[in-house]
Amino acid sequence: MNEQSKVVDFYRRELARALDEQSFGITHSEVTHFSENEAEATITLLEGQAVNVALSSAGYKVTAEETYYETLDDLLSFISPSYAAKRVEALMERLQGLVGSGDATKSSELRYTANTQLEHLHARYTGTGHADLSKYEWLTHQHRDTLASIVGHPSLTSYLAIADGEATGRIRFEMTERMLQPCGPPPAKEDD
């Protein structure tokens, strides 16, 4: 698919994706028209009424009306009284699926994963109850996270480059270099 056809096809693909996500709350949908500026579809609501919906850069709207909605979910909630109830029902089904079918092995695996993640958080952040973390290690994590955040956000890197009168690439390089040992060499270990 070339770039031009991707641009023309964008609204059709986005509308089709949104309709597929909301398929629990409609009985039928079909994309009827699309261009590089908008896409239109005919939707049959749970109440049996057919509605023409359009998607453009302004958002979703019923073609016969002027009000735009940010999401198809918002639009369907407004025009279909049965949609909200069906959405809650679908959400509850998904949540029940997450709770599980009562499989003890699965729940113990989830519990192990949760404990492992909690242990990781305790190990990373001081004051969260993990006794094996020294102040040096905690400080190293904090500095490294800060430096990684600065390198990962171009606006922060640009700000520091302007403040230091250096090139942005030089600032990135220095920050990356400082991530190796952000707090200097580790302190000597005490022998017990």
Domain ranges of the chain: 3-92, 104-178
Nearest Cα residue to 46 out of 33, 29, 70: 29
Predicted pLDDT of residue 32: 93
pLDDT band at 73 (very low <50, low <70, confident <90, very high): confident
3-92 carries CATH number 3.30.2280.10:
yes
126 vs 178: CA distance, rounded Å: 22
Task: Let me know: does 11 contact 56? Beta carbons within 8 Å.
Answer: yes
Residue 130 vs residue 17, higher pLDDT: 17
Predicted pLDDT of residue 191: 65
| Percent of the residues in the chain that have a pLDDT greater than 90, as a whole number | 25
Token pair for 102: 């009562």
pLDDT band at 133 (very low <50, low <70, confident <90, very high): low
Is the predicted pLDDT of residue 131 greater than 80, yes or no? no
Residue type, 38: E
pLDDT band at 68 (very low <50, low <70, confident <90, very high): very high
Phi, psi of 182 (to 5 degrees): -65, -20
pLDDT band at 53 (very low <50, low <70, confident <90, very high): very high
79 Cβ neighbours under 8 A, 6+ residues apart: 45, 51, 62
62 vs 48: CA distance, rounded Å: 16
Average pLDDT score over residue span 79-92? 86
